[in-house]
Amino acid sequence: MGLFAKFKEKFQKKEETKNEEVEVYEKGLEKTREEFVSKLSLLGIKYTKVSEEYFEELENLLIMADIGVKTVFNFMDRIRDRVKKENIVDTAYLNEVIVDELFIIYVNNESLTDKINMAPNGPTVILVVGVNGVGKTTTIAKLAYKYKNMGKKVMMIAADTFRAGAVSQLELWSQKVECDFFGKENADPAGVIFDGLTKAKEANSDIVLIDTAGRLHNKVNLMAELEKMNRVIGKFIPEAPHETLLVIDATTGQNGIMQAEAFKEITNITGIVLTKLDSTAKGGIVLAIKESVGIPVKFIGLGEKMTDLETFDIENYIYGLFKDFIK
C-alpha cells in the first residue's frame, strides 16, 4: 500500500471535518492547486493511457511547479519504475501514484511534523537568518506573536546592527506584539546578543528570537559573523541556539533554493521558513527544498496577517495541494 493510499482516509476526514488550520492550507495553496493540479487533471483527460508523450508533459508540468529539475528527474525515474512494475496504463490511477511519490519525497521515513526544538530549561534561542527582503523581520514578529499567544514570554534581539533602520524596525514590531526587545545600532552583533541574552535570562524569557544580517554577497564575512554569534550564544546558554531558521521568499522559486544551499554552507540551518507561499503558483518549492538541501520546512507563510504563519504539516500541505483528487 502506498503512503497516499495509507493516508487517504485521513484526507477524507479532513474534507468532512475541516478545522481552521486545514482551511488555511487549502486557501493558502489555492494558486498552486489551480495551476498545477488542474493542469495535471487536464493531462489525464488529454492522455487516458500512459505514454511517452504523457511523461514529457508531466515532466514539464512538474518543473513549472518549481519542484526543481534535479528533483523532477529523480521523481520521473521513480514514476516510470512504478508504471513498469505495477503495469499501470490508466492515467487517472497514475494521478494517485504521482501524489504518493510526491508525498514520499518529503516524508522519506521521517517525522510527518517538524517541531521546534524547545530547551528543557531556560530560554529557547532561535537564530533567524536570510537575505534582506525575504520577510525576515516580519517573520520574527509573527513567531513572537505565535509564542506570546501560547503563553510564552518572548524577547527579540536585533543583531542586524549595521543595516539602516533594521534595529528600529524590529523594535517597532516588538511594541506591536508587546514583547521584550534589545538592540543597539552600529554595535558588534555578538556583543548585542550577549547583552540581550543577559537581559532575557534576567527577565525569565521562554523564547529568544534573534535577527541577523543578510549580506549573502559577502559569504566569508557573514560566516565569520555567524560563527562568532554561535560561540557567544553557546557559551552563555549551553546547547543554544536551539534552532537556526532560514527565511526564504517562496515567490523567488529556484533562487530560494540557491539561498538555502549557500546558507547551509556557512552555518548549521535546522529549519526553513517559507514566506508568501499563498502568493505563488509554485508551491512545489516545499518539496524541492527538502530534496535539494535536506532541511525540513518548519513554518510557512500563508497570508499577511499576524496569525498567517503556520507550523508546517506535510499532511495538510499534501491535502491543500491535492484535495481535488481525494474522492
Residue 46: count other Cβ atoms within 10 Å of its Cβ: 12
Based on the fold, state whether residues 168 and 101 are members of the same structural domain: no
Which domain CATH number covers 211? 3.40.50.300
* CA nearest neighbour of 301 among 163, 150, 76, 142: 142
Report yes or no on 5 lying in a domain: no
Report yes or no on 10 lying in a domain: no
- Nine-digit cell string for 187: 554595535
Which domain CATH number covers 40? 1.20.120.140
**Backbone φ and ψ of 280, nearest 5°:** -125, 155
Instruction: Give the H or E element holding residue 207.
Output: strand 207-211
Based on the fold, state whether residues 204 and 72 are members of the same structural domain: no
151 touches 236 (CB < 8 A): no
Q: What is the mean pLDDT of the chain?
A: 87
pLDDT at 17: 64
Report yes or no on 77 lying in a domain: yes
Residue 174: count other Cβ atoms within 10 Å of its Cβ: 23
pTM to 2 decimals? 0.88
Domain housing 71 = 19-112+321-325
- How much is the average pLDDT of 177-206? 96
pLDDT at 112: 43
Taking only the tens place, the pLDDT of each residue in 37-48 is 788 888 888 998
Taking only the tens place, the pLDDT of each residue in 266-303 is 899 999 999 998 888 878 888 888 878 888 899 999 88
Strand order in the sheet with 154-158: 180-183, 154-158, 207-211, 124-129, 243-249, 271-275, 297-301, 309-311
14 touches 22 (CB < 8 A): yes
pLDDT at 5: 62
- How much is the average pLDDT of 208-221? 86
Number of folded domains that form the chain: 2
Report yes or no on 7 lying in a domain: no
